[in-house]
């Protein structure tokens, strides 16, 4: 059964990221730090970004919680590291669509390994777990945009 083996493969990818999270730790020169909790499941992460203009030059996270929340965060950091805000917006939108059950998004190459989380769409209680990292990222990028605007304003006056 192809579907069952695909599910098993996806399960392996999620467990791999849960057990060996990528980009876990803290940054020496973080410009943004965002704590984010999912009280429904007890997941918590702190996402740190080092922004260079509109580019994420480095990213780390600390946290604990269920395998979905931690694996999703690990995958997210891999996907956005080195990318510009404009590219990240598209990926984030597609990821959200996939988690909400969009079948097209679930086959989008732009999501890479994160497609392993497509099955979360069948478990509404886990949606918040999968989106925790992306909510933190969105807030972090909004804070960064505010900082940039404030800096521009300061130099202009
Ligand atoms: Zn969770």
Is 59's pLDDT higher than 90?
yes
How confident is the model over 24-56, as pLDDT tens digits? 999 999 999 999 999 999 999 999 999 999 999
Helices of type H across 33-81 = 67-80
Instruction: Give the environment of ion ligand 1: residues with CB less than 5 A.
Output: 41, 43, 66, 69, 129
Q: How far, in Å, from the CA of 129 to the mean position of ligand 1?
A: 4
Q: How far, in Å, from the CA of 148 to the mean position of ligand 1?
A: 33
Nearest residue to 18 via CA among 59, 80, 56, 72: 72
Domain segments of the chain as ranges: 2-156
The CA–CA distances, whole Å, from 43 to 2, 13, 46, 55, 92 equal 32, 19, 11, 27, 20
Q: How confident is the model at residue 72 (pLDDT cuts 50, 70, 90)?
A: very high
Q: How confident is the model at residue 156 (pLDDT cuts 50, 70, 90)?
A: confident
Model pLDDT, residue 128? 97
Q: How far, in Å, from the CA of 69 to the mean position of ligand 1?
A: 5
Q: How far, in Å, from the CA of 64 to the mean position of ligand 1?
A: 9
CATH of domain 2-156: 3.90.1010.10
Is 2's pLDDT higher than 80?
no
DSSP-assigned states of every residue in 80-121: HTT-BHHHHHHHHHHHHHHHTT-TTGGG-GGGGGGGGGGGGG
Q: Side-chain half-sphere of 43: how many Cα atoms within 13 Å?
A: 28
How confident is the model over 95-149, as pLDDT tens digits? 999 999 999 999 999 999 999 999 999 999 999 999 999 999 999 999 999 998 8
Alpha-carbon distance of 148 to 114, in angstroms, equals: 30
Alpha-carbon distance of 35 to 48, in angstroms, equals: 9
What pairing do the DSSP bridges indicate for beta strands 55-64 and 32-38? unpaired
Q: How far, in Å, from the CA of 157 to the mean position of ligand 1?
A: 46
């Amino acid at each position: 059964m192809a579907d069952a083996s695909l599910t098993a493969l996806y399960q392996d990818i999620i467990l791999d990221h849960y057990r060996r999270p990528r980009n876990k730790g803290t940054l020496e020169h973080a410009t943004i730090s965002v704590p984010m909790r999912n009280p429904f499941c007890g997941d918590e992460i702190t996402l740190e970004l080092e922004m260079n203009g509109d580019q994420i030059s480095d990213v780390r996270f600390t946290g604990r919680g269920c395998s979905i929340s931690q694996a999703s965060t690990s995958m997210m950091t891999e996907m956005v590291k080195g990318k510009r805000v404009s590219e990240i917006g598209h990926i984030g939108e597609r990821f959200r669509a996939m988690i909400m059950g969009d079948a097209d998004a679930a086959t989008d190459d732009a999501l890479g390994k994160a497609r392993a989380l497509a099955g979360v769409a069948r478990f509404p209680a886990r949606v918040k777990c999968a989106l925790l990292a992306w909510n933190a990222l969105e807030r972090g990028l909004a804070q960064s945009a505010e900082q940039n605007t404030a800096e521009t304003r300061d130099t202009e006056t």
